[in-house]
Structure 1
Amino acid sequence: MSLKKDIKLLFKPYYFVNILLSLSYIVLKRTPGVCNYLFNVEECEFDGKETEILFFLLIVVMIRTRKAGSVTMINYLSSSFIYTKVANLILWFYANFIMGIVYGIIFILAGLILPEPTYSGPDNVIYFRGMQGLDEELERDKKCTWLVAFYTVWNPSCVHFAPVFAELSTKYDLDNLKFGKVDVGRYPDAGKKYHVNDSSMSKQLPTMILFQEGKETLRRPTVDSKSKLIKFIFNMENIIMAFDLNNLYQSCKDQLKGKKSSMQEKKTIKDKKNE
């Protein structure tokens, strides 16, 4: 996602309001006049406790966003909002119990009224209604290769992954190379069959599985020899490399050409016989 698109997204209510909530305490505490009235202080400076909380917040945000694999400005912001708002909540309660309650109410209302925007751009993705829909499609045409993403709508990593998967589907889609998605939060049976944990603490969301001839041949993230999950960052470059999409695309394209040539030869032979 380009910087220009990221900047446009910042003006959407979800991001705008959350940025305000994340910066509320710092801005108001450092604004002369406002801070003197709200906090009943002479100097608009952070005390030792406030500095400690803000420093701890900075460390947590840096560590958690890195672990989440956030690589764009929007991803960093989305990953950090929960931590910055919790830190602000603590700071407001530290300053004044009533203001802490007011901030907490606004915090909760913003979460209920303004959910994080989901991707709504172009894609060539087929959404399966559970395990049965996917299994039927895999059995229907085993010559078709499928790249399927298992996700949940509430997981931030899945939300950030959506535009990447959509772009891949528009770039690599062929008649025999298809892209699909299964919401394992809504259809847990699919998660159980394909061993994708859909719990709130799961590190398997999202999961991408490559199906060839109706069978799983590759997945990310995967596990090592000790059954420990190997971290995988779902950006465009990593996915293309891990699933060898350029070569897979060319191979599928060659198969289509071979199929068309074979059909053309049969048609030619049939025409000659009719003559």
Structure 2
Amino acid sequence: MVQKREGRIKWLNRMVSEPYYFLHFIAFFSYLPIRSSASPYVSDRLLDREIQAFLALMMLSAVKMVREETWEAFIADILFYAKIFLIAVSLITDYRLALWYSVAFSVIYLLALQPAFDKLGTAKKLTPLQLEELLSEGNTTTCWLIEFYASTSSAFVRSSRCFPELSITYSNDILSFGIVDLGLFPNVAAKFGISLAGGMSQLPTYILFEKGTEVSRFPDFYVEATPSLPITKKLLCQHFELDRLLLDYVKGS
């Protein structure tokens, strides 16, 4: 119970301290004083639309709660729908208010990024030199699964919890997990055929190396040839056959 309470307090502190969440909180909270100043006629019209928007948001939240695998993806989706509903309801009060919220949310998008999951699990942060050494010199570990990412990629933020949790489950003497930040080391992308163009649509990229040689990756070299699938633990597990690798380790140990 104490650990759960501490976890909730830590989560609330992060929600307040992170600019992304704090700015969204201020934007949504600003609706309350604006709403209280509306005329009785407008207020009656607003109430019906607010109830409809709230119910719609609750239904979407329930659906996303079931479908989304990570909290980061769930929060991103719910904030997106909440912004749409707030702008739509604001149109009833004054189109200028709706325009103001549109501009405010655009500014937040430009100034603050949604924070990614900040734990590594058993994965290791690697520099380009460290990655080159472990791939060229070999290691006691047969396989390395490497995540190439950038914190500015929305797809990475949404899936950032998957890789650390997979590393905890599947790390063993024949499989290790590592991450390389292409935001810090963009030159590494070209070496491994990863495109940083088009809004970094190929990030994150996952590559499985066996004895220093690439044997599989997701997504493939050409984004056009790869379905735009949300990255989940199940997807990565199936694509890289992590259960088979774990079974091979158990049988060989």
TM-score of the pair, normalised by structure 2 = 0.68
Matched letter for residue 185 of structure 2: Y
8 Å Cα contact 2:70/2:159 also seen in 1: no
**Paired residues for 1:224-239 under 5 Å:** 227-239=224-236
* Residue of structure 2 equivalent to 1:146: 144
8 Å Cα contact 1:211/1:218 also seen in 2: yes
Aligned-residue identity in percent: 22
Q: Is 1:243 the counterpart of 2:240 in the alignment?
A: yes
The counterpart of 1:134, out of the listed 131, 135, 157, is: 131
The 2-side partners of 1:133 and 1:174 are apart by: 20
Look up the SS of the partner of 2:208 in the other structure: strand
8 Å Cα contact 1:92/1:99 also seen in 2: yes
Instruction: Summarize the Cα distance change of 1:105–1:168 in structure 2 as closer, same or farther, 3 Å threshold.
Output: same
The 2-side partners of 1:110 and 1:201 are apart by: 18
Look up the SS of the partner of 1:201 in the other structure: helix
Matched letter for residue 248 of structure 2: S
How far has the Cα of 1:149 moved from its partner? 0.6
In our comparison, the structure showing a higher alpha carbon Rg is 1
Stretches of structure 2 lacking an aligned partner (at least 5 in a row): none
Instruction: Summarize the Cα distance change of 1:227–1:164 in structure 2 as closer, same or farther, 3 Å threshold.
Output: closer
8 Å Cα contact 1:146/1:212 also seen in 2: yes
TM-score of the pair, normalised by structure 1 = 0.64
* Residue of structure 2 equivalent to 1:176: 174
- 1:213-243 deviations in Å (ceiling 9; x for gaps): 211111112268x952222332222221221
8 Å Cα contact 2:70/2:162 also seen in 1: no
The 2-side partners of 1:80 and 1:243 are apart by: 31
Instruction: Summarize the Cα distance change of 1:173–1:229 in structure 2 as closer, same or farther, 3 Å threshold.
Output: same
Look up the SS of the partner of 1:186 in the other structure: coil
The 2-side partners of 1:16 and 1:118 are apart by: 15
Stretches of structure 1 lacking an aligned partner (at least 5 in a row): 258-275
Greater alpha carbon shift after TM alignment, 241-250 vs 108-117: 108-117
Over aligned residue pairs, what C-alpha RMSD do you find? 4.2
* Residue of structure 1 equivalent to 2:116: 118
The counterpart of 2:154, out of the listed 156, 162, 175, is: 156
Q: Is 1:45 the counterpart of 2:45 in the alignment?
A: yes
How far has the Cα of 1:154 moved from its partner? 2.0
Which structure has more relative contact order (CA 8 Å, sep 6+)? It is 2
